Amino acid sequence: MSETVHYTGLLTKVERINGETLEQQCKRIMGNIDLPPCFDSYLEMIAYRRYQKYYVHNNELYSVQLHKIEKEDELFISNYNGRMTYDFEIRYEDSDYDFEEAIELALKNQRF
């Protein structure tokens, strides 16, 4: 059974340390543990184990702060506020989209 989910929130860019790659950054955030064989990369691991906590946009890692709201109809909007963060509001049927698809649509529909 599906449900309509509606979130507002904030994406905040996570700073990299000493020129680390995105993969190294994900490994650090996951606690520098060995990569389990069920994952091909630390990026894949963070996407699965920290679902709705981190999101990658333009090869940059963002932390996610969510607030759930009860409403109807689909909605995908975002606004870059110039402080390395994006405000966003998404509302979608969870059988039609997953969280990452909804964020991607919101980032494509930025309000300026």
From CA 67, how far away is CA 26, in angstroms rounded? 24
Domain count, the chain: 1
What pLDDT is recorded for position 1?
67
Give the per-residue pLDDT at 13: 93
Dihedral Cα 95, 9, 88, 26, nearest 10 deg: -80
| Sign (positive or negative) of CA dihedral 17, 20, 21, 24 | negative
For the chain, list residues with pLDDT below 50.
Answer: none
Q: What is the pLDDT of residue 26?
A: 95
Range of the domain at 97: 4-108
